[in-house]
A and B are shown apart, each in its own frame.
Chain A
Amino acid sequence: MGDLRDLYQEVILEHSKHPRNFRALESANHQAEGFNPLCGDHFTVYVDVENGAIKDIGFQGTGCAISKASASMMTQNLKGKTTAEAEDMFTRFHALVTGKDLKADLGKLAVFAGVSEFPVRVKCASLAWHALHAALQGKQEAVSTE
């Protein structure tokens, strides 16, 4: 198992304490819930999509430091991206946190590489992304990581 500091990096802790875009979006035309029954983490991701691009994005809910920071940094990184780019980023993010591609091109999100050393926390890191994916797909039911 990796070092705790690899998991709880400063930037991750900072985002978990002061999450960005931590709000419900009035203008959202896509939204979905993500739920991790194992630890009770529960987020709703709100997306305002216009002409195939993410105009605005927010989230609300409760979860551990990893899941909250991941949701916060996800929203920060996706504003202005196309939905295709967002889905592509999810794929790379998943490859990163599962350790399949630790060099994935993810910019600031690369701080989540430490998660790959903590297999039970992969679901925490990817929860908001699963919810985003469901929202973009127009799924109605809450997605579960189990």
Chain B
Amino acid sequence: MSTAAKTRIVPAPPSTTTYDVQKVREDFPILRQMVHGKPLVYLDNAATTQKPEAVVRAMADYYHHDNSNVHRGVHLLSQRATESYEKSREVIQRFLNAASLSEVIFVRGTTEAINLVAQTYGRRNVGEGDEVVITAMEHHSNIVPWQMLCEEKHARLRVAPMNDRGELLMDDFAKLLGPKTRIVAVPHLSNALGTINPIREIVRLAHQHNVPVLVDGAQAAPRMRVDVQELGCDFYAVSGHKLYGPTGIGVLYGNAKLLEAMPPYQGGGDMIASVTFEKTIYNRLPYKFEAGTPDIAGAIGLGAAIEYLERLGVDNIEKHEHSLLEYATEQVSAIPGVQVIGTAKEKAGVLSFVMDGIHPHDVGTILDHEGIAIRTGHHCAQPVMQRFNLPATARASFGLYNTKEEVDALVTGIKRVSEVLA
């Protein structure tokens, strides 16, 4: 078995004090390319982020030198693989400020993290007539797992509404909570609108009813400091690939008390302490929830990504992206015929917009021709589109390597859309 999952906070590397975005860009080889003869302007970071050289190298190093299965072999390579894998767990624990390593579970991504909670905590605690509360601004991944649960258990899915700016209506949210509520699931940062939700207040209200809160942190974790103990949430889900790490890996943070009481998610190797045909004793946390050989290289890559973010400084990244979003919002809003969708007071990273008489899909094609990658469509949040009575939006989303000049390119590109389709 592995090394003990004891609490061990490793100090974070010192972050740089100044933020030199041109220097940061050198860490991302993929950004140095032309698209349709124009320099790539990558503004689809809410879909996935590019990977710094450090991440690619960490994963290649693992495969070149340490590849082996974890938690099993007595041989040296297996020990090295296990150490690297578990070191990533420590890095993540520090990044999210989880109270213990037992609370950091490797999963495939945010979607799997939410499904894990719905299928274990949910199936055990939600019964007929009970209620699950979500919000009107969810990504499909924080709707469908709960819908599946409610259907199976004959429970009810309640949806907290938002206003026209895309802000959660907290009075209505509070009113949805009651003796039937079994769990609350909310996004920290809306992927379609950019709204930052007041998680601490949501948690305070839910905990008054002894209801646990799951936070979909896929978009927030790459963009702001996340401290799960300070937020007070019971579950926090993140995706590695949105954190400048690889695809196929993510993390579920769970409060140890709740995790202990939950049944396992999947059965298999690694999640067991002993197996006979009569009875299986499950492994302790966090391994109880990690059946089968995990994505070892992915976990190592994610650890490297987070260390990279820490070296740049999460606060520096937040400040940089905030200034980009402010500048972009001002510039894009000023273009005639363009309307920004999602105008919450507290926003980060995401600028959704529509153009009069022009479908977002056409906006996407013409911008692509200018080398600018944005997302168009419903952003896996069809109910959000329905709320704003739109078939789709165009969405520019910013990352730590984007520049003011790229925002200018976006603005020029949007003006070009009007010209082409005039």
Contacts and interface: CB of A to CB of B under 8 A. Distances in A.
Interface in A1-34: 1, 4-5, 7-8, 13, 17
Given A13-B421, A64-B359, A65-B359, A40 B365 contact: no
Given A13-B421, A39-B392, A64-B359, A4 B369 contact: yes
A91 interface: no
Contact of A41 (B357, B361, B365): B361
Contacts of A110: none
A74 B366 CA distance: 24
Given A1-B36, A1-B369, A66-B362, A42 B420 contact: no
Contacts of B73: none
A63 B369 CA distance: 20
B377 A40 contact: yes
Interface residues on B, range: 10 to 19
B349 interface: no
Contacts of B369: 1, 4
A17 B410 CA distance: 25
B366 A4 contact: yes
Contacts of A67: 361
B337 to A, nearest CB: 14
A65 B366 contact: no
Contacts of A84: none
- The winner among A5, A8, A40 for most chain B CB atoms within 10 A is A40
Contacts of A65: 358-359, 362, 421
Nearest to A121: B365
Contacts of B377: 38-40
Contacts of B366: 4
B421 A64 contact: no
- Determine which residue in B359, B360, B385 has the highest number of CB atoms from chain A within 10 A of its CB, and name it: B359
B420 A63 contact: no
Contacts of A121: 361, 365
Contacts of B267: none
B288 interface: no
Contacts of A64: 359-362
Contacts, number: 55
Contact of A62 (B376, B382, B391, B420): B391
Contact of B357 (A4, A17, A118, A120): A17
Nearest to A1: B36
Contacts of A62: 359, 391
Interface residues of A, number: 24
B378 interface: yes
A39 B376 CA distance: 7
Nearest to B385: A40
A41 B362 contact: no
Contacts of B421: 8, 13, 65
B361 A124 contact: yes
Contacts of A7: 365
Contact of B391 (A4, A40, A120, A124): A40
Contacts of A8: 362, 420-421
Contacts of B382: 40
Interface in B380-397: 382, 385, 391-392
Contacts of A66: 361-362
A41 B364 CA distance: 14
B143 to A, nearest CB: 15
B390 to A, nearest CB: 8
Contacts of A17: 357
A82 to B, nearest CB: 33
Contacts of B360: 39, 64
A63 B359 contact: yes
A62 B366 CA distance: 19
A41 B360 CA distance: 10
B220 to A, nearest CB: 25
Interface string B400-422: 00000000000000000000110
Nearest to A123: B361
A1 B368 CA distance: 10
Contacts of B385: 40
A67 B365 CA distance: 13
Nearest to B366: A4
Contacts of B359: 39, 41, 62-65, 68
B387 to A, nearest CB: 14
Nearest to B368: A1
Nearest to A7: B365
A120 B362 CA distance: 11
Given A1-B369, A38-B377, 5 more contacts: A8-B362, A39-B360, A63-B359, A64-B361, A124-B361
26 contacts: A4-B369, A5-B420, A8-B420, A13-B421, A37-B378, A38-B377, A39-B359, A39-B361, A39-B378, A39-B391, A40-B378, A40-B385, A40-B392, A41-B361, A41-B391, A42-B391, A62-B359, A63-B359, A64-B361, A64-B362, A65-B358, A65-B362, A66-B361, A66-B362, A68-B359, A124-B361
Interface of B: 36, 357-362, 365-366, 369, 376-378, 382, 385, 391-392, 420-421
Closest 5 CB pairs of A and B: A64-B359, A64-B361, A40-B391, A40-B392, A39-B361
